[in-house]
Structure 1
Amino acid sequence: MSDEQESLLEFPCSFPIKAMGKAEPGFDLIIVELIRRHVPDLHEGAVVSRTSKGGKWVSVTVTIKASSKAQLDAIYLDLSAHEKVYMAL
């Protein structure tokens, strides 16, 4: 069975990717830059940032048009490898 057959998603599809890290200036730009390596045509309004109640953490959600499981896997690998990303969902 191929990766595409094993996926529960039907591609292409709209897919939200969330990354969390410390609330530092430019964190959202780092996330967008990492995702743009795999999705160069992010649309206006694709990025939403939310700071935690205490202001220490920030979550950045980027909604993309995913074209394959391999694309999503590559994005998550890049996000997880970055030292400023605490968690990627």
Structure 2
Amino acid sequence: ARGTTAYLEQYSGEQCFALTRSDENSSLLMLGNTSAETATVDLSGLTIGKTAAEELVLLGELYTGEETAERTGAEITLPAWSILILGEE
């Protein structure tokens, strides 16, 4: 209920979205795939709070099938209909 939400258009598209949620104490990144197909998001250059995207830790995940997200550096591949929440340690 507190803080601000920002839509990250640069990291969003027809298949997926990227949002940040921040308050004075923390910042989170939420990635979602809203399609029936796998989607890959390249988060190169993104910093959340003081942490580069590739150093964010997984805080939560929601999958509708057996596939899970895969991460290689700043690139994240999301299975169909999935959501990831990443944040600083």
Q: Same fold (TM over 0.5)?
A: no
Q: Which has the larger share of helix?
A: 1
Larger CA Rg, structure 1 vs 2: 1
**Higher relative contact order, structure no. (Cα contacts within 8 Å, ≥ 6 residues apart):** 1
TM-score (ref. length: structure 2): 0.35
